[in-house]
Structure 1
Amino acid sequence: MIIAPSFGRPGRTLVVAVSALALASCGSGGDSAQQPAAPPPTLVTAVTVRAEAVPNIVDLPGRIEAIRSAEVRARTDGIIERRLYQEGTDVKEGTPLFRIDPRDRQAAVQQAQAAVQRAEATRLNARQVVDRYRPLINERAVSAQEFEAAQATLRQAEASVADARATLTRAQLELSYTTVRAPISGRVGRAQATEGALASAAQATPLTTIEQLDPVYAVFSQSSSELQTLLSQARAGQIKLPTLTGVEVRLVLESGEEYGPIGRLNFAGLTVDPETGSQVLRASFPNPERRLLPGQFVRGRLLAGTIDGITVPQRAVQINGSNAAVSVVGQDGSVSVRPIQLGGQTGGNWIIRSGLKPGERVIVDGWQKVQPGGKVRVEEPKPAAAGAGRPAGQPGQGGTAAQPGQPGQPGAASSPASGR
């Protein structure tokens, strides 16, 4: 439309305003046509956490000790002639380990044998005298004093025989010490004395060491205050503690690998170390492959009863260095990242010490695709995975979503309950 210039000033102003409004309305209509639609909420799998009985796991540092350890030392004097074993091998109790020069002890045995023969001859003569005097005493051919003297001489001769035999036994024992034998079965260490060295019984010369390595002990130090707190919680009913021998222990090696066989506590110290304020706990472990060696550093995970707690599947936890967090779905479907404090692990689940409450929904699968504050849609569980909403770490008790193609769950989708 062309406006005639003959219009007055007010008319021109009105026409310009109307034209501006028309142009603005056309521009806004074009922008709305170009604006994209909002994306749909991201599909995720979540579990509803609940309080349940979870293991109370206590981590303690410890070291391995041999269940039996024997220091092999010399028990007689002499020159070591030969080492009779191979270092670092397993030996049975009574296996010869060293041979000490036996000639001096052999001579002592022969001397003691001669003393026994001499004492026996003296005793035989004394007995014959008594036997001759006995019928004569009634005929008064021998006085009573002489007969009593003959009996006393016989008793002295018998005592001399006993003394000589004891000396012979001692000499034979000393001779047996010239062959040093293993006092226990186990793995024998390196020789601490070589051929030609002088072994001394008075100085108890060390020769080698034998250690039994199957089973072995793992010795832990537990703070006395923490142990008293644990016992107080047990008395208050907050923790259900088993008996001492019922406490299971798992070992974590220095490499971070978990040792397979499970041990059990068999000793708890009744005294507190005044320097460290700790008490000693000891567990026994089978060690058929000799993977555990005395002095080795380990960490023990003690299953000290059960407590009411919360668990979530391992794949739901976001770990960044020493920090851990989970993605929580709110009532309105929005996602927030919640820092948590982790406990131990059980059945493929993390035990949550703090940071979550029963009834909250934690994203298990799909949290990588969601930003904090974003909206999500929680997938409903399929009938085959109906028990997947209970994070107990057991088959049929959830915490881990069913995967397609698993036995008995063909095509089952990963979807726990969504807050129902």
Structure 2
Amino acid sequence: MIHRRAPRLGALLMLPLFVAACGNDQGAPAAAARSMAVLVTTVQSAPVSNVVELPGRIEAVRTAEVRARVDGIVEKRLYQEGTDVAAGAPLFLIDPRDYRALLQQAQAALARAEAARSNAASIVTRFRPLVARQAVSAQEFEAAQTTLRQAEANVSDAGAEVTRAQLRFERSTVRAPIAGRAGRAQVTEGALVSASAATLMTQINQLSPISAIFTQSNTAILDFGEQVRAGRVKVPDMAHVEVRLILANGQEFPEPGYLDFTDLAVDPSTGTQTLRAQFPNASRTLLPGQFVRGRITAGVQKTGIRVPERAVQLDANAASVALVGPDGTVQRREVKVGTQEEGEWVVQDGLQPGDRVIVDGWHKVRPGQKVNPQPAPAATR
């Protein structure tokens, strides 16, 4: 009997040890989870570029609508559509025959007036010594002088008519008022154009240099001015505020531009102010009407904060980061981010120097969880 009970007694003695071992196995993962290792970077403040990104639209520096200045039938188009033309280059020819005839008629009238003036002048010249000898009455001499003055006025009037006829004749050849790229012709050969209706014939845009127009809320401009006055942002003069363009396909325009105009009036319907920058455009990549995004380097933030891109979680509403608090637990905090620079986000609000931001491993932890923070290698930033 003793030998049969001994195995049972041994099994009963081993049962508490087995239960304790199982309990230790279940607690190990929880302890490991509470002390999961994550890579963190400690936030530091340093001067960073104060970059503001705004939507914008490309506009030509100069735009000229070429319109008819005389009436007539278009005989010929003298330029290639979509090409660059010089100022004064001929664009269209309006039938000039009527205007040539009017010019010749005006020139003939001027010749008659000049002949009459010459005759009147000769009479005055002959009468002058005769008046002294009383061979001609003073009244006749005064009449001759009056006739001369009328003849001179007729010459001036005829000369003005010649000038007017010459202008009409010259305007029958429609020329480019500015240098730039000539657009599509709005009229064809045989079309009747009118000076009184100012018929549009084509349009010329100067494409190099070219302007980009941006709008910024008046509130943001006031906040920026407050930061400048408080000394948190140092700005250069207006002529050195650099602007970079991001095109519609996401590519960056290779050449920088600079702000050259800031509107002093606020649009009452939108509450915005207009900013303008000018860019070189020798390649004609930028065209009027294009929508772009401008990155305006509006000075330097003296105490800026940057964190690695991979540390920031973005969703449709906000950006956030995971922090390791003083007690070693995970905290989630929303931040306001600006632009990206060299693989890092510029954080405008939400972080302070000394905060420990989780760079790697934030997706494996949850707020309130204990973690084991490890410094992130410099290469991950």
TM category (shorter chain) comes to 0.7 to 0.9
How far apart are residue 237 of structure 1 and its match? 3.2
Q: Paired residue for 1:3?
A: 2
Q: RCO higher in 1 or 2 (8 Å CA, sep ≥ 6)?
A: 2
Secondary structure of the equivalent of 1:86?
Answer: coil
SS in 1 for 2:281: coil
Q: 2: CA distance between counterparts of 1:4 and 1:276? A: 98
Q: What does residue 343 of structure 1 align with?
A: 338
* Structure 2 CA distance for aligned equivalents of residues 150 and 68 of structure 1: 57
Matching of residue 262 in structure 1 with residue 256 in structure 2: yes
Task: Tell me which of 210, 225, 228 is aligned to 1:216.
Answer: 210
Alignment of 1:14-413 (within 5 A): 19=10, 22-24=13-15, 27=18, 46-307=40-301, 308-320=303-315, 323-329=318-324, 338-364=333-359, 366-367=360-361, 371-372=365-366, 373-378=370-375, 401=379
Note the C-alpha offset of 1:187: 0.9
Which segment is superposed worse, 119-128 or 137-146?
Answer: 137-146
Task: Report the residue type matching 2:90 in the other structure.
Answer: P
How many angstroms apart in 1 are the aligned matches of 2:104 and 2:24?
Answer: 122
Query: How many Å apart are 1:170 and its aligned residue?
Result: 1.1
Cα displacement (A) at 1:29? 9.0
More helix as a share of residues: 2
Paired with 1:150 and 1:300, the residues of 2 have a C-alpha distance of: 77
Q: Cα RMSD between the aligned structures?
A: 3.4
Alpha-carbon distance change, 367 to 111 in structure 1, aligned in 2, over 3 angstroms: same
**Relative to structure 1, is the Cα distance of residues 206 and 369 closer, same or farther in structure 2, using a 3 angstrom cutoff?**
closer
State the match for 1:410 in structure 2: none
Which blocks of at least 5 consecutive residues in structure 2 are unaligned?
A: none
CA 1:90–1:4 in 2, change beyond 3 Å: closer, same or farther?
closer
Q: What's the TM-score once normalised by structure 2's chain length? A: 0.85
Contact 1:130 1:154 survives alignment (8 Å): yes
Distance 2:358 2:307 in 1: 10
More strand, by proportion: 2
Deviation at 1:55, TM superposition (A): 2.8
Which piece of structure 1 moves more, 36-45 or 16-25?
Answer: 36-45
- Contact preservation (8 Å) 1:43, 1:378: no
Contact 2:213 2:274 in 1 (8 A): yes
- Note the C-alpha offset of 1:139: 2.1
- Give 1:334 deviation, angstroms: 6.4
Give distance in 1, aligned partners of 2:73 and 2:20: 112
| Deviation of the 1:224 alpha carbon | 2.2
Mean alpha-carbon deviation: is it higher for 175-184 or for 222-231? 222-231
Counterpart code for 2:168: E
Equivalents in 2 of 1:113, 1:43: separation in Å?
Answer: 99
Q: Is the 8 Å Cα contact of residues 37 and 372 (structure 2) preserved in structure 1?
A: no
Paired residue secondary structure (1:345): strand
Classify 1:194/1:58 alpha carbon distance in 2 versus 1 (closer, same or farther; 3 Å): same
Q: 1:232 to 1:188 in 2, by over 3 A?
A: same
Deviations 1:85-128 (A, max 9, x none): 11111111111110000000000011011011101111111121
| 2:74–2:193 Cα contact (<8 Å) kept | yes
With over 3 angstroms needed to count, the CA separation of the structure-2 counterparts of 1:31 and 1:61, relative to structure 1, is closer
Q: Distance in 2 between matches of 1:301 and 1:205?
A: 41
User: Taking structure 1 as the reference length, what is the TM-score of the superposition?
Assistant: 0.78
Larger CA deviation: 169-178 vs 344-353: 344-353
Q: How far, CA to CA, are the matches of 2:324 and 2:3 in structure 1?
A: 66
Task: Report the Cα offset of residue 151 of structure 1.
Answer: 2.1
Q: Which amino acid aligns with 1:377?
A: Q
Partners of 2:213 and 2:3 lie apart in 1 by 106
Number of equivalences: 374
Whether the 8 Å contact between 1:42 and 1:377 is mirrored in structure 2 is no
SS at match of 1:85: coil
Question: Could you report, residue by residue, the CA deviation over 1:67-87 in whole angstroms, capped at 9, with x for unpaired residues?
Answer: 100000001111111111111
3-state SS, counterpart of residue 127 of structure 1: helix
Q: Which runs of 5+ in 1 are unaligned?
A: 6-11, 382-387, 389-400, 402-413
